[in-house]
Amino acid sequence: MVFDTHAHVSARQFDKDRRQALERATDLGIAFLEVGFNEDSSRKSLALARQTGGFCAVGIHPHDALADEPLETRWQYIESLVLESPRVKAIGEIGLDYFRNLSPKNAQIEAFIMGLDLARRHKLPAIIHQRDASRDVITVIDKHSRDIPIVFHCFSEGIDCARKCLDLGGYIGLGGPLTYPRNGYLRDMLKFVPPDRLLVETDCPWLPPQSKRGRRNEPAYIIEVIETIAEVLGQTPSEISKLTFDNAVRVFANGEQEW
């Protein structure tokens, strides 16, 4: 079994062949966590989790931090999804993105803190999106959420930042970018991650692995990420599959295998 800890299969990019993409994943023994990024996509993520017998995360992405409705009301809606179903296994994705800055910094930080507070109230892990904002992300997490598992999704920093994230008890999620030739620094960083803190993900439909670049990503392509990790760490793909699957069960299901 393989566990893709970050997928957006309910995104419109899958509208034409969602069922086939899900079948391709199932055929390869791939389970996945469907991740929301605003109210609408969180509701769709839960719907997909119910439909597939799978699990999901619900949250408000920093890009979506600014909206007409007040953040309190928006987070109340997200919380209603948490209360609605035990299939919600995490709060995310939440975080800070100063690269695209699609929402003002203050709104991003406010939304982020509210997301972490929600995760803590429900003892759920938080899935973090971070770009050009590692310093603020680490400061906010250090202050607001030392007692829940934190997943740094699509980790794309070097060893120094990884060390700080690991010190917060964080997990490192790696996906397609690990397979890109120019990202040798990520493969160096990987060697530094303790085995019990490593997770794999696709972030599909985005960030396909090297051999699929230019195409839409999907959960089945996680195999290439597993193979790359195996090669870098000198282990077999099945060892990496098992390791990262067990880690995902520990983080998202308190060690009780439900997948």
Angle of helix 222-233 relative to helix 237-253, nearest 10 degrees, comes to 110
Q: Which is nearer to Zn ion, 149 or 173 (CB)?
A: 173
Number of residues that bind Zn ion (CB under 5 A): 1
Interface stretch with Zn ion, choices 41-49, 171-179, 199-207, 208-216 (CB under 5 A): 199-207
Burial state string for 173-201 with b = 16 or more CB within 10 A and e = fewer than 16: bbbbbbbeeebeebbebbeebeeebbbbb
Stretch touching Zn ion by CB under 5 A, among 52-60, 115-123, 181-189, 197-205? 197-205
Distance CA 41, CA 245 (A): 25
Please state the closest distance from residue 35 (CB atom) to Zn ion, in A.
5
203 is a contact residue toward Zn ion (CB under 5 A): yes
Q: Which stretch binds Zn ion (CB under 5 A): 83-91, 171-179, 195-203, 245-253?
A: 195-203
Nearer Cβ to Zn ion (35/140): 35
Output the residue with the shortest Cβ distance to Zn ion: 203
| Least gap, CB of 105 to Zn ion (angstroms) | 20
Question: In the complex with Zn ion, which residue's Cβ is closer, 121 or 221?
Answer: 221
CA end-to-end distance (rounded Å), the chain: 9
Please report, as ranges, the residues that interact with Zn ion according to CB under 5 A.
203
